[in-house]
């Protein structure tokens, strides 16, 4: 089941590798008590014309092209796993095959619930792949009013990228990963120099191009201090 949990996004990533130009958006709305909502979006609309043609094929560039049925089934697996994760409720999904925009959203009782979704999967990846990815990606201290997005860079990311052929590497030239975090309280400071605080002080946005992330030049690691 853990493997199936990410199969939906793996299928979409497969399509992305065949087309280029895709963006991933991670959004969290955090309440004062540490509960909140999370939304993850994979947006491939920049390549929708090419994607429509590719979906008619069985494979391309050595990748099997997933069908709509494959994607629908994989999304069901994702939802089924989320439903079994403690503290995760109100799960919603959207599929836009016209513009190729796909989302998964859910409510969480506490920030640690988000970590629990992929904890075992990350542990298995570290064991089998010799990587050292952290299983603690999010945390919130209600006492100090500190929200943290953790990430430990692993050189294996760059090594895996180096093993790809040049055509596939070029796909990431126009790929971005964006994090948006919204709060009830005002944001006092952020630790990531690339993060921007909104004019109303209630949100933080961090956009990283894929190449900077792969090379380790930029990171999603961020400590956000709220006003107390």
What pLDDT, in 10s, does the model give residues 190-228?
999 999 999 999 999 999 998 999 899 999 999 999 998
pLDDT in the model for residue 17:
53
Lookup: tokens for 191: 């630790």
pLDDT in the model for residue 80:
85
* More confident position, 55 or 145: 145
pLDDT in the model for residue 64:
75
Number of domains in the chain: 1
pLDDT in the model for residue 6:
46
Residue 1: pLDDT band with limits 50, 70, 90: very low
Q: Which domain holds residue 95?
A: 2-226
Q: Distances in Å between the alpha carbon of 101 and those of 24, 130, 175, 181?
A: 10, 33, 15, 20
Q: Over range 12-40, report the average pLDDT.
A: 80
Distance between start and end Cα atoms, the chain: 41
Residues 227/186, Cβ–Cβ less than 8 Å: yes
The pLDDT mean for the chain works out to 84
Q: Over range 1-11, report the average pLDDT.
A: 46
Residue 72 has pLDDT above 90, yes or no: no
* More confident position, 100 or 11: 100
Matching residue, tokens 């006492």: 143
Instruction: Note the pLDDT tens digit of each residue in 136-163.
Output: 899 999 999 999 999 888 888 888 888 8
Phi, psi of 74 (to 5 degrees): -65, -35
């Amino acid at each position: 089941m853990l493997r199936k949990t990410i199969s939906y996004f793996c299928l979409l990533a497969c399509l992305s590798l065949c087309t280029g130009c895709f963006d991933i958006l991670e959004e969290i709305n955090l309440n004062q008590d540490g509960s909140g909502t999370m939304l993850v979006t994979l947006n491939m609309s920049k390549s929708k014309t090419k994607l429509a043609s590719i979906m008619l094929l069985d494979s391309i560039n050595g990748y099997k092209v997933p069908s709509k049925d494959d994607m629908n089934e994989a999304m069901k697996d994702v939802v089924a796993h989320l439903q079994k994760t403690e503290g995760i409720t109100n799960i919603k999904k959207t599929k836009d095959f016209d513009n190729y925009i796909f989302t998964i959203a859910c409510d969480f009782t506490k920030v640690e619930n988000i970590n629990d979704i992929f904890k075992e999967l990350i542990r298995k990846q570290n064991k089998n792949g010799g990587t050292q990815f952290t299983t603690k990606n999010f945390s919130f201290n209600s006492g100090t009013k500190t929200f943290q997005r953790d990430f430990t860079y692993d050189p294996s990311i760059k090594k895996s990228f180096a093993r790809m052929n040049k055509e596939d590497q070029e796909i990431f030239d126009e790929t971005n990963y964006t994090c948006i975090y919204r709060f009830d309280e005002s944001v006092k400071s952020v630790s990531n120099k690339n993060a921007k605080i909104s004019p109303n002080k209630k949100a933080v946005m961090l956009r990283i191009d894929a190449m900077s992330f792969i090379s380790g030049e930029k990171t999603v690691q961020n400590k956000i201090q709220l006003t107390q």
